[in-house]
Chains A and B, each alone.
Chain A
Amino acid sequence: MPAVTETREAVEKLGQSSYKWGFETDIDMDVAPKGLNEDTIRLISARKEEPEWLLEWRLAAYRAWLKTEEPKWAKVSYPPIDYQDLHYYAAPRKKPGPKSLEEVDPELLRTYEKLGIPLHEQAMLAGVELPEGETARPPVAVDAVFDSVSVVTTFRKTLEEAGVIFCPISEAVRDYPDLVRKYLGSVVPAGDNFYAALNSAVFTDGSFVFVPKGVRCPMELSTYFRINAKNTGQFERTLIVVEDGASVSYLEGCTAPMRDENQLHAAVVELVAMEDASIKYSTVQNWYPGDENGRGGIYNFVTKRGACRGARSKISWTQVETGSAITWKYPSCILQGEGSVGEFYSVAVTNNHQQADTGTKMIHIGRNTRSTIIAKTISAGHSDSTYRGLVRVLPKASGARNFTQCDSLLIGDQCGAHTVPYIENRNMGARIEHEATTSKISEDQLFYCRQRGLSEEDAVGLIVNGFCRDVLKELPMEFAVEAQKLLQISLEGSVG
C-alpha cells in the first residue's frame, strides 16, 4: 500500500498536526479594505473591469442580502460572524502583460507544486518521457484559484480546438458576455439564500465552462481553490453550461493554510445541462479543519445546484468532505427535463471538533425523472456530522423514482451522527425509498483484520474505505487515490 506509506510519512513529518497543506505562501497581495458596503462592491467590479449590468446585478444581490437572515436551521453552532471584519477582495498583485505560466509568480507555482497540482503541462505536451514504471496519466486541464483570483488555466488550446471554453469567470464576463449573462444566476438566483446572495454581491472569480452541442470534453477539467491571505473570505463562482448531447467531468479541490481564526468560504456553483447532456462534478474538499481543540478552520458555506433542463440530461455530484471546521453544503439537482437523472454520492468525515451539515436536494419536476442518493457519514473525536436531504416530487413528475441510502459510522463515544431526510411527495405515480442506518465499526470485522496482522489503525482505515466504497468508486481515478489518503489522515488519532 504505497499510498498509505506515503500518508504515514507525511503525517509523521508533520508531527502533531496532520494537515499537510497548512503552509502559507508569502506573496505580494492586493487587498481591499475590510468591510462590506456598496463601495466595496463597486471597487471589486471596477478592479475586474466589469460591465455595468454585472455591477447592477451585484448591487441587487447585496440589497437582497441585507434583507435575508442567516440560516439557523442547520445542526452547526459557531459564534456570530462579523461580516464587516473581512476582506472581500484579495488578489496576487498582477504584473502587466499576458498571463502565461512563466509569468506567474514563482512563489505561487511552488505553492501549487506543494499541493501536487499538475500545472506543468508542458512536460506532458512536449512528450517528455516518463520515468520507468510510471504510466502516462490522461491530462487534466487545471484552473487554479488563489484567494479570490484565478491565476492560471492550463490546456486552453487543446480545449479551444474541441470548442470547449474553460477559463476564469472574470475572463468569460469579458470574452463571452452573452453566455455569462444568459446563465449566471439562472440556477442559483442572486437572492437565493443568505450565503448565495453574499457570494453574488462580492464574488471575485471562479471557473467558467461551456461545452457546445455534441462535444464530449476531451479531458477532465479541474479547479484548485486555495485560501491564502489572512482575514479574507473566499467567494468563488463556478458556472458550467453543457449543451445538447455534450458532456464534461469536472473536479474541484480545496485547501487553506492553518490559522487560529476562522475563515469564511461561501462559493456558488451553478450547473446547466441541456438535452442529453451530462455533467459529473467531483469535489475533494480539504479546507483546514481547525486544530485538535477546534481552534481555527474554514467555515464552508456553499451553495451548489444543477439544473437538468433538457430531456435525458444527467447531473452527478460526488463529494468527499474531510476538511473545514464547519460544512454547510447541499449540492442539489433540479430535474426538469423528462427522464433526467440526478445523482449524489457523498462521504463526509468529521474528526476533532469539526461540524458538518451536508446532503442534497432532489427536486423532481419532469416526468420519469430519477435520482439516487448515497451518503456515508463518519464521525470521530468530538465532531458532529449530519446528513440533511430533501426529495421533493411535484405533481407533474409521474413515474419519478428516488432511492436514498444514508449510512453513518461512529468512531468513539464523544461524537454525533445524525440523519434528517425530508420526503415530500405530491405525485401518486412516484416511488420513493429511503433507508438509513447508524452503527459503529463491527467488532467482528475489526477482529478479522487484526487477526491477519493489521494494526488497529490500519484495520479501521480499511473498514472505513470499504464503508465508503460505493461513493469512492464514483470518483475519477486520480481523485479516488487522493480521497482514500485523505480519509486516512482525517481519522488520524481517532482510534486506539
Chain B
Amino acid sequence: MNAITKDRSDTLAPFGTRLDGVTDPVRKAAIGALHRSGLPDRRVEEWRYTSLRFLTETPLAAPAEVYDAGQVQAQLENLGLNSGTLAELPRLVFVNGRYAEPFSVLPAEVEVSFFAKTQTFGALSAPDRDPLTALNAALASDGAQLHVSAGKNGGDVLLVSLGQTDTPVSFHPRHSVTLDEGAQLTLISIQAGQGRYLHNPVLEISVAAEANLKHVTLQTEGQDAACLATTYAQVAERGTYDSFVLGLGAALSRQEIHARLAAPFATVHVNGAQMLGGKQIGDVTSVITHAAPDCISRQTVRNVLDGHARGVFQGKVFVDRVAQKTDGYQMNQALLLSENAEIDAKPELEIYADDVKCSHGATVGALDDDQLFYLRSRGVPDAEARQILIHAFMDEALGLIEDETARTLCTQMLARSFPVAGESA
C-alpha cells in the first residue's frame, strides 16, 4: 500500500543513447534489469552510504578509440611501472577500457584472450541483482581474459587500466581470470588515469581446486574520476583467493568484492586499506559467502581519513546452512585525522549454520595521545610523529600483501600520496 513507484530509468540519462539498439541477448537482459532498477540511490540498502549523484551530473560519452601514446608512456613511468623489477613484468595495458597492444607484454605461462574478440560473459556475475554489473554488461567493449592451465605457475602479471580524456567518458572493461587445478598466479591490477571519467570494470575469477590466486589492486585514479569496480570470485576445494585492495585516488570509488567459497577447505582473504583526503569518498564493500563446510575467510580493512573525506566499509559474511565448521574473521578499523572526516561502517554477519566460529570487530578513533606523547617526548616534532603513527597504522595492513613486488609498489604509492614529513631530509 502507499507504494511509491517511480520509473528509475531516468538515472540512466548520462549514458544517453548508448543503451539503445542492442541485440545481444545477454546485454539486452542486462539493460532490461538496469531499466527496472536504475542506478541505485541511497535508499537501496547496499548503497546507503555511497551516493552516485556524482555520475548523474554530466553525460558520459563513449571514449575515443585513439589515445595519446606519449601520455600513456608518461603515465606508466609516473606509476613506476617502467623501472626496477616492475619493468620486467609482463603486462596488459588498457587505455580507456581498450587493449593497448604497443604497451603490453604478454605473459609466458598464461593464455590471454580478449573480450573484444570472444564477447563471452562469465557466469559468476549477477547483472540482474547488481546494477553496476548490469551497466558493465550493457556497455563492455573489451577486457583481458587470463587462463592458467593445471599445475602451471603464471608468475606476476600486471593488469593496468589507464583513463585519459578531456571530456567526460565512461568505460566498462570486462576481465576474467581462470585458474585450473593447482595453478598459481599473482595479478597486480592498477587503476589510474587523468580527467573526468567513470571506470566501471567487472572481474570474474574462478579458482579451481588447490589453485592459488594472489590479487592486489592499486587504485590511484584521477582526482575527478569515479571508479566503481566489481569482482566476483569463486574458489573450489582447497583453493585460495588472496585479495588486497589499496584505495588512494578517485573522487568516488567503490571496490565491491563477492567471494564465494564453493567447496570444502577453501580460503579467501579480502583485505584492504584506504587513505583518503580532500572530498574523496571511498567505499569498500564485500560479500563473502561460505557455501561449503570447513572454509576460512579473513578480512582486515583499514581506513585513514583526512580533510572532508568519507570512508565506507560494508562487509557481509554469509554462512550457508551446509557450511559447518566455518571459520570467519572480519576487522575494520578507521583513523580519523580531521574534524570533518567521516567513516561509515557496516560489518554484517548472516549465519545459518550452528557449528561455526565467526567474529567481527570494528574500531574508530583518532591518533592515540599516549603514542603521540611517547614520540614527542623523544624529540620527534608533532607533524612527523603523526605521520609516523599513520604510516605504522597503514603498514600493518600492507603487511598482509604476501607478494613482495606488489607490496613494495603499494608502499611506494602510499608514501608518494602522503609523504612522511622529514623523510626526504
Q: Are A439 and B361 in contact (CB under 8 A)?
A: no
For the complex, give the distance between the alpha carbons of A224 and B336 in Å: 46
> CB-defined interface of A420-448 with B at 8 Å, one 1/0 digit per residue?
11111111111111111111100000000
Q: Are A435 and B3 in contact (CB under 8 A)?
A: no
Within 8 A of A (CB), among B58-77: none
**B345 in the interface (beta carbon within 8 A):** yes
Partner of A437, one of B338, B358, B363, B366: B358
Q: Are A431 and B365 in contact (CB under 8 A)?
A: yes
Q: In chain A, what residue has the closest Cβ to B342? A: A426
Given A67-B2, A69-B4, A438-B351; A421-B362 close (CB under 8 Å): yes
Q: Are B361 and A427 in contact (CB under 8 A)?
A: no
Q: Are A428 and B366 in contact (CB under 8 A)?
A: yes
* Minimal beta-carbon separation of A138 from chain B (angstroms): 41
CB-CB under 8 A from A425, the residues of chain B are 334, 336, 342-344, 364
Given A431-B365, A438-B359; A424-B353 close (CB under 8 Å): no
CB-CB under 8 A from B3, the residues of chain A are 69
CB-CB under 8 A from B363, the residues of chain A are 431-434
Within 8 A of B (CB), among A216-246: none
Q: Are A69 and B357 in contact (CB under 8 A)?
A: no
Q: Are A420 and B346 in contact (CB under 8 A)?
A: yes
* Minimal beta-carbon separation of B305 from chain A (angstroms): 9
CB-CB under 8 A from A53, the residues of chain B are none
CB-CB under 8 A from A422, the residues of chain B are 344-346
Partner of A66, one of B2, B350, B354, B362: B2
For the complex, give the distance between the alpha carbons of A395 and B342 in Å: 9
Given A436-B360, A438-B356; A423-B321 close (CB under 8 Å): no
Partner of B358, one of A426, A427, A432, A438: A438
B interface residues (Cβ-Cβ under 8 A, vs A): 1-4, 45, 321, 324, 334, 336-366
For the complex, give the distance between the alpha carbons of A363 and B344 in Å: 14
Known: A69-B3, A411-B354. 11 other contacts (CB 8 A): A410-B354, A416-B351, A420-B346, A424-B342, A425-B334, A425-B342, A433-B361, A434-B347, A437-B358, A438-B357, A438-B359
For the complex, give the distance between the alpha carbons of A436 and B357 in Å: 11
For the complex, give the distance between the alpha carbons of A27 and B4 in Å: 43
**A296 in the interface (beta carbon within 8 A):** no
For the complex, give the distance between the alpha carbons of A84 and B343 in Å: 43
Sample of 29 A–B contacts (CB below 8 Å) = A416-B350, A416-B351, A418-B348, A418-B349, A418-B350, A418-B351, A422-B346, A423-B344, A423-B346, A424-B342, A425-B334, A425-B342, A428-B338, A428-B339, A428-B366, A431-B363, A431-B365, A433-B361, A433-B363, A434-B345, A435-B359, A435-B361, A436-B349, A438-B349, A438-B351, A438-B356, A439-B357, A439-B358, A440-B355
For the complex, give the distance between the alpha carbons of A337 and B66 in Å: 61
Q: Are B362 and A410 in contact (CB under 8 A)?
A: no
CB-CB under 8 A from B356, the residues of chain A are 410, 438-440
**A70 in the interface (beta carbon within 8 A):** yes
Instruction: From B2, B345, B354, B357, name the one whose CB has the most chain A CB atoms within 10 angstroms.
Output: B354
Q: In chain B, what residue has the closest Cβ to A398? A: B339
Partner of A432, one of B1, B337, B341, B362: B362
For the complex, give the distance between the alpha carbons of A394 and B63 in Å: 41
Partner of B348, one of A83, A417, A419, A439: A419
* Minimal beta-carbon separation of A463 from chain B (angstroms): 14
* Minimal beta-carbon separation of A191 from chain B (angstroms): 13
**A414 in the interface (beta carbon within 8 A):** yes
Q: Are B354 and A440 in contact (CB under 8 A)?
A: yes
* Minimal beta-carbon separation of A423 from chain B (angstroms): 4
Q: Are A434 and B361 in contact (CB under 8 A)?
A: yes
For the complex, give the distance between the alpha carbons of A79 and B229 in Å: 37
For the complex, give the distance between the alpha carbons of A428 and B386 in Å: 14
For the complex, give the distance between the alpha carbons of A159 and B354 in Å: 49
For the complex, give the distance between the alpha carbons of A449 and B362 in Å: 34
Given A66-B2, A425-B336, A428-B337; A413-B350 close (CB under 8 Å): no
CB-CB under 8 A from A69, the residues of chain B are 2-4
Q: Are A436 and B351 in contact (CB under 8 A)?
A: no
* Minimal beta-carbon separation of A246 from chain B (angstroms): 34
Q: In chain A, what residue has the closest Cβ to B321? A: A413
Partner of B354, one of A415, A419, A424, A434: A415
**A68 in the interface (beta carbon within 8 A):** yes
Q: Are A423 and B345 in contact (CB under 8 A)?
A: yes
CB-CB under 8 A from B366, the residues of chain A are 428-429, 431
Q: In chain A, what residue has the closest Cβ to B362? A: A434
CB-CB under 8 A from B321, the residues of chain A are 413-414
CB-CB under 8 A from A437, the residues of chain B are 358-359
